[in-house]
Structure 1
Amino acid sequence: MSTDPGVSRVSRQEFDALFASVRTWGRWAAADRGAWNRVTPDHVRRAAALVRDGTAVPLGLPWNTRSGPDNSRPALHYMSDLGDVEAPEPATYKDFLGVDYHGKAVSHLDALSHVAYLGQLYEGHVAQEVIGAAGARFGSVAALGPLVTKGVLLDLPAVLGVDWLKPGQPVHAGDVAAAERALGVTVDDGCAVLVRSGRFRRRRKLGPWDVDAASAGLHVDAVPLLAERGVSLLGADGDSDLRPSPVEGIHSPVHVLAVAAMGVPLLDNLDLEALSAACAGAGRYEFMIVVAPLNVPGGTGSPVNPVALL
């Protein structure tokens, strides 16, 4: 892995060729679900066989109501009932939650309506024609439903023997293959790939920073490998994208390739620290993962707290 600022720049022409090479448009009848169509009951049974000691590891961040360099839109949480209104027993206590969850501070799922490239969503739907004030009529998170499949943790700091990857450090295709070998895992058909950079270990040690300006993440040259393996889901403790972007004029090229070209939903801002420790303790980096986004008709995604089961 390199931190050389001049490493592997990609032109728009090269990127467009890459987009065309990984595109899966027209492959599935239930196009709203994209790559989740890959996961069959056999995949679920395979994932269930990976649950051996019964350890359940949640991957979602705490609800983040504090503004900061990596949280420009804090979530809302306030009490709407403090049990102080006279009424028959029992007293009740209620609260309100609200969030603009896309961004860097909330663990969330990106549905297929979240990303358009050159005006088109996955399957070539014109974004302005199918998304309006009432939400998305194609690629809604409600179309996805839950996902249960095999998960693979590519724990890059563990492979490299470091605490974390440096902000701006790229993860290339060769790094993905090397991590598979080192961790004894195989990225294969229908699986969910989680990429750990150590972002939250670094944040807890050194404090927050502007992750839009500099984040470790996948270089676009890693995407064809994931496409060839037939993954159903991609997630990370960042948002999967390397920042600054290596592609001229495109700030989130991995989002474009995964969501708009391949139909692969993304999990952003996962806390993978506990999972890293659990996998190291168990001596294995494959597990069952359960992802159940909120059933929001027209939603472009959902806050989510995925669970890994070892």
Structure 2
Amino acid sequence: MSVFVTKENFVPRHRPQSFDDFPSYDDLLPTLRFWGAWGPPGSDEESLGMLNMLTPDLVARTVAKEVKTGERVGLGWEFHMLDYPNFKRIQFDIQYKWVTYPFSFDDEYRMNPQQSSQWDGFRHHSQMLSHEFGPRQEYMTVDDPDKAAVWHGGTSAHEIQEGTRLSLHSWSKQGIAGRGVLLDYASWAEEQGITYSTFDYYGIPVEDLLKVAERYNVKFEPGDILLVRLGVTKEWMTKSTEWKENYRTLSPPTHAGMIQSEALLRFIWDNHFTAIVSDAIGWELFPNKNPDHLMSLHQTVLAGWGVPIGELFDLDGLSELCKKHDRYSFFFSSVPFNAIGAVSSPPNAMAIF
């Protein structure tokens, strides 16, 4: 199902006091937008989106229920990975500078957060407007981006370039904390004898996610932070320098991920996930070739609903801890960079058991 809408087609929502207050998926049609519920334009509440539902009460209950052994694992990949990023993104670089020779050093980073483990903030991806445009390529030739796209809450490209609306730094003020659940697709596929490359055009239907949840006895709760492991970080480390150099030049590259579908969107919305995370480069299958669902997951989840997307998280250590305890839920925490105006950020994330 493809839905192209106008900026003016905006139904303001009431702020939910509980997860029971959210409208149904069908009530969001045709725009698939949940705008205007959290706070006025430019407020921290608007910038938090669905993270507003990670209340102190929910966090306290999660800690009491999920933290049992104190074991913990970081979820951020090394900053220099991907060491050969695509999409014209720069490689990570660190330089050392003398502060007081010969006694002390500083270091200076040059990086694009999208090149490694990162959160996509709501300034990252827009939702296409209808107007007179057809194929995606036609949108990319307009003289004014505000004619073609709109960001969460009705934010314009000019507001992003010239202001701080939807800035990701709002997430750092309290951090992101709640119950995480892992759907370890990579381990499940291995058990099933399914072979694939995460750098092929390999799509995962939402029905398979439900099979993974059943296999590992994952029970979803409102407010969960959903993590899906495909095995990207592990596979990348097996690739040769020659392969990586070639990958960097591909236009477009191919990335395994979730197949775009209405069933996937219903799964995300109906379970009231407050964020979705993966070790995949783009979470969803790329490029999107589905003629029945031309709007990408990013357009709906980020721009439509205000649900953060985490990508390229290192979930291999988390997978091992989950197997060790035969438990796929845990306490999740993340404190993004406090960078005003940020589009994305390393997650600084960890899971605690």
State which of 296, 299, 313 in structure 2 corresponds to 1:253: 296
Aligned-residue offset at 1:26: 2.4
Partner residue, 1:4: none
Partner residue, 1:96: 108
Of 245-254 and 219-228, the range deviating more from structure 2: 245-254
Residues 1-310 of structure 1: matches in 2 within 5 Å? 12-13=2-3, 20=30, 22-29=32-39, 30-48=45-63, 49-64=65-80, 67-68=83-84, 70=86, 72-81=89-98, 84-85=101-102, 91-102=103-114, 105-118=115-128, 119-128=149-158, 130-133=159-162, 136-145=163-172, 146-160=175-189, 161=191, 165-166=196-197, 167-207=200-240, 208=244, 209=247, 213-221=253-261, 222-238=264-280, 239-247=282-290, 253-310=296-353
Residue 289 of structure 1: SS of its match in structure 2? strand
Aligned-residue offset at 1:20: 3.8
Aligned-residue offset at 1:164: 6.5
Query: Equivalent pairs: percent with the same residue?
Result: 22
| CA pair 76-177 structure 1, distance change in 2 beyond 3 A | same
CA distance in 2, matches of 1:33, 1:97: 27
CA distance in 1, matches of 2:312, 2:77: 7
Tell me if structure 2 keeps the 8 A contact 1:50–1:286: yes
| Structure 1 letter corresponding to 2:108 | F
Name the TM-score, length of structure 1 as normaliser. 0.84
| CA pair 165-40 structure 1, distance change in 2 beyond 3 A | farther
In the alignment of these two chains, the number of paired residues is 290
Structure 1: gaps (5+ residues): 1-9, 86-90
| CA pair 149-163 structure 1, distance change in 2 beyond 3 A | farther
| Structure 2 letter corresponding to 1:178 | K
Of 106-115 and 19-28, the range deviating more from structure 2: 19-28
Partner residue, 2:14: none
Aligned-residue offset at 1:206: 3.9
Tell me if structure 2 keeps the 8 A contact 1:163–1:201: no
Aligned-residue offset at 1:42: 2.3
Residue 61 of structure 2: SS of its match in structure 1? helix
Aligned-residue offset at 1:116: 1.2
CA distance in 2, matches of 1:66, 1:263: 27
Q: Deviations over 1:59-83 (max 9, x none)?
A: 1111217852658410120101175
| CA pair 22-286 structure 1, distance change in 2 beyond 3 A | farther
Q: Deviations over 1:172-194 (max 9, x none)?
A: 22122212111111233111111
Tell me if structure 2 keeps the 8 A contact 1:169–1:242: yes
Aligned-residue offset at 1:13: 4.4
Tell me if structure 2 keeps the 8 A contact 1:147–1:290: yes
Tell me if structure 2 keeps the 8 A contact 1:157–1:164: no
Tell me if structure 2 keeps the 8 A contact 1:83–1:93: yes
Aligned-residue offset at 1:126: 2.1
Residue 58 of structure 2: SS of its match in structure 1? helix
CA distance in 1, matches of 2:195, 2:335: 29
Q: CA RMSD in A?
A: 2.8
| CA pair 69-138 structure 1, distance change in 2 beyond 3 A | closer
CA distance in 2, matches of 1:219, 1:191: 21
